[in-house]
Amino acid sequence: MKIKTARFVISNTEVDKCPSPVLPEFAFIGRSNVGKSSLINMITDQNKLAKISARPGKTQCINHFIINDEWYLVDLPGYGFARNSKSAREKFESFISEYILKRESLNCLFILIDSRLKMQKIDEEFITWVGNSQIPFALIFTKTDKLNKKQLAVNISLYKKELLKTWDELPKLLYSSSLAKLGREDILSYIDCILK
């Protein structure tokens, strides 16, 4: 699939104020700093579309970007950001979980996982919650440029083993490096497949 246009539409913390759910959308979530916003920029080939930062907790809202005037990419805040207060975390959790559970036009939630790490408890709990809530999801292993081929293969194989302890089947697994610009075609083909 070719991306001809990608534009920022709206940023907010209220699901009711998101664009009306008439176009399909694909959202990116994962731990703070995993590379969600960077991946949106890499996929759309615009380095300033989504705001990125080396400090975790940059994205704080639900951000809609319209692609080819046909579908949305959605950048979400990260979870597991310890510097936020408990009340800020609870507020975050409520609008994000409301978005995930109620957004009827959400075609797939991409859960981003840092390819360098073994399965983290917070990711495991999040994946379980999403799966049990019957939300269509796929996993994207990010920052693959930080590992060599062998290390990446070992980590992915361990991750699959962990997933298979809970699930009968593996979800769709994708791999990306925003730095090395890898994974774009596979992610876009997967989106294209769902759109068709």
Stretch that binds Mg ion, among 20-28, 57-65, 132-140, 147-155 (CB under 5 A): 57-65
Which residues in the 81-140 window bind ligand GTP by CB under 6 A?
A: none
36 binds ligand GTP (CB under 6 A): yes
Subset of 23-42 contacting Mg ion (CB under 5 A):
36-37
Alpha-carbon distance of 13 to 99, in angstroms, equals 9
Stretch that binds Mg ion, among 18-26, 51-59, 149-157, 161-169 (CB under 5 A): 51-59
Of these, 18, 44, 64, 143, which contacts ligand GTP (CB under 6 A)?
Answer: 143
Place of tokens 């699959």: 160
- Taking the least distance from each CB to ligand GTP, the nearer of 113 and 163 is 113
**132: which 2 tokens?**
């049990």
Using CB under 6 A, pick the residue from 18, 25, 59, 130 that binds ligand GTP. 59
3-state secondary structure the chain: CCCCCEEEEEEECCHHHCCCCCCCEEEEEEECCCCHHHHHHHHHCCCCCCCCCCCCCCCCCEEEEEECCCEEEEECCCECCCCCCHHHHHHHHHHHHHHHHHCCCEEEEEEEEECCCCCCHHHHHHHHHHHHCCCCEEEEEECHHHCCHHHHHHHHHHHHHHHHHHCCCCCEEEECECCCCECHHHHHHHHHHHHC
Q: Is 58 in the site for ligand GTP (CB under 6 A)?
A: yes
44 vs 156, beta carbon nearer Mg ion: 44
Which residue, 28 or 156, has its beta carbon nearer to Mg ion?
28
The minimum distance between CB 84 and ligand GTP, in angstroms, equals 11
Q: Does residue 63 interact with Mg ion by CB under 5 A?
A: no
Using CB under 6 A as the binding rule, whether residue 38 contacts ligand GTP is answered as yes
- Residues contributing to the site for ligand GTP (CB under 6 A): 32-38, 52-54, 56-59, 77-78, 142-143, 145-146, 177-179
